[in-house]
Amino acid sequence: MKKIIFSIFCVLPMLAIGAEQQTPSIIDYKSIHHPLVAENGMVVSQQYIASRVGRDILQQGGNAIDAAVATGLALAVVLPRAGNLGGGGFMLVYLKDKKEYIAIDYREMAPAKAHRNLFLDADGNVDNRKARFSHLSAGVPGTVAGLDLALQEYGTMSWEQVIAPAIKLAEEGFEVSWDLARNLQRRDSRLQSPATRKAFYKADGGYYHKGEIFKQPDLAWSLKQLKKHGKKAFYEGEIAKRLVADMESNGGIISMQDLVAYKPKVRAAVKGTYRGYEIFTMPPPSSGGIHLVQMLNILENFPVTELGSNTADEIHLLSEVMKLAYADRSKHLGDTDFFPVPTDWLLSKKYAKQLAAKVNLKKATPSAEIEAGSVPVYESPDTTHYSVVDKWGNAVSNTYTLNFSYGSGIVAEGTGILLNNEMDDFSAKPGTPNAYGLIGGEANSIQANKRPLSSMTPTMLLKDGELKLVTGSPGGSRIITTVLQLIVNFIDHDMNVAEATHTARIHHQWLPDVLFVEPSINQDTIKLLETKGHKIRQSSTMGSTQSIQVEDYIYGSPDPRRPNAKAEGY
């Protein structure tokens, strides 16, 4: 059992969740990493107000899915750089009674008028402004449809109930945090369209400051439309009309037909095993699940526990494994509706053993010497993630995004809704890196009605048939490696969810051939890694896992790498 720490002020009856009484968790006063403890339910998100909204829904009798939808809608108001109505994402749902995992793909889709040369200039080069900061950069949004599917199929509450807190926050406003105030000031140069200025800055163009009340009347209007008409408001009603009018006035190509035709997809979750645990995670068009399981399969061939947490030897091993997986990502991953992703092969233990044999434990292998495997013949740093567990043992792991911070920076006139710039997640020109430095090929080329490849990795772990961990992270290309390290810390190094979250992280994505390390990785370790041939670059903090551990109680850990992240339980 993982080391769990009780707050000395927290006195709870030793009741198991949906089971007979179990042995209490180990109380270890030597640890400095303390998760929040709850008995009946938990929501962990990147924004404390949204976490509170989700917790309140649980207290009102809603299940994990109800709380997840309410949290997602609230994040669209209080975390505008990543929470959204105009983006898309992936939700993993666990239904305890049925022992069933549902993977909901509500990733954005390319409009019908999109084509492979959409962002190429006259010389055949990628026009990054068009790909990232124009109306053309927006894919058909999937968030509203995805949340609606989850609520209608697996929830117990109505749109009116789950959206009410978000409407209140948008209409009556909420207190601006230091983080939001600073972030809007820093992004000023990108948030320049008239509707965007109206949404996020004062009438005179001034900034909001910490402690002031921030209201979003246009967004409140959109939310009220959703309350009254559900998803139809967004895809064929009044919101849709305003979105399309804004597209037509600014050279965009999303049409009413695109919106009406959008459908989220329920897919089979990717399943793997690692040292006695079952792993459930997202399938393509997310690359996260496949490569998470692939990397764990490779690591299973090495004594990770003996290497120690964040030693030079462990970091070296992790980085070598990361390079192998990201090389495969560049060639083999895309939307399975358009490209035959070799899923079974990539997930096989046999292929993992072949890759493990390529790892040199003494020396770094240059990325130039690593190629994507050959199939045998026969995502932004400002994505956001949240996790929910209810008193019945149901769970949700949800990651959604606008891609960049504030997406394209463009608010659709009259809606208060930020447009995503997910079209940049396609390979605008195969072999040319996207904004995160990721190389893509034909599998992820732009095609009408196709979903771009993503790194989002909402994940759950079971052991002996019981849910043990719910996690996920934002972070663009670093999402997969962030989730990998949390799982390695949890399983191989026997850390509780808080310890696993707080431990320093590293990242390698094959190209560029650089090992990124968080500032807290010590200099002696860095020197040892350099002697192994690694090119080290200190990086800002990586990812923001919002995780829940389930034992005899429910233990939540927000990631301290985001200042307003919080766990709320009851």
Catalytic center residues = 383
DSSP string, 151-213: HHHH-SS-HHHHHHHHHHHHHH-EEPPHHHHHHHHHTTTT--SHHHHHHHS-TTSPPP-TT-E
- For the record, the structure tokens of 65 come out as 């899915």
Helix axes 64-78, 143-154, angle to 10 degrees: 160
For 265, the 3-state DSSP assignment is strand
Residue whose C-alpha is closest to residue 159's, from 60, 230, 247: 230
At a CB cut-off of 8 Å and minimum separation 6, what does 212 contact? 175, 176, 181
Q: Distance between CA atoms of 455 and 122, rounded to whole angstroms? A: 31
Q: How far is CA 149 from CA 62, 142, 338, 400, 445, in A?
A: 16, 11, 23, 15, 28
CA 455, 507, 457 angle in degrees (round to 5)?
Answer: 25
Q: How far is CA 57 from CA 93, 259, 374, 563, in A?
A: 17, 30, 49, 24
Can the peptide bond before residue 285 be classed as cis, meaning omega within 30 degrees of 0?
A: yes
Q: Please count the CA atoms within 13 angstroms of the CA of 24 that sit on its side-chain side.
A: 10
Distance of CA 474 to the CA centre of its chain: 4
Q: How far is CA 136 from CA 113, 139, 285, 313, 423, in A?
A: 10, 8, 21, 46, 8
> Which 8-state DSSP code applies to residue 137?
G
Residue whose C-alpha is closest to residue 446's, from 109, 90, 106: 109
Q: Which residues pair with 4 in a beta bridge?
A: 27
Sign of CA dihedral 444, 403, 503, 11: negative
Q: Distance between CA atoms of 166 and 143, rounded to whole angstroms? A: 15
Confirm if 421 and 136 have CB atoms less than 8 A apart.
no
Q: Distance between CA atoms of 518 and 483, rounded to whole angstroms? A: 15
Residue 3 class from Cβ within 10 Å (0-12 exposed, 13-18 middle, 19+ buried)? Answer: middle
Residue whose C-alpha is closest to residue 225's, from 303, 284, 160: 160
Residue whose C-alpha is closest to residue 380's, from 84, 70, 156, 20: 84
Q: Which residues pair with 235 in a beta bridge?
A: none
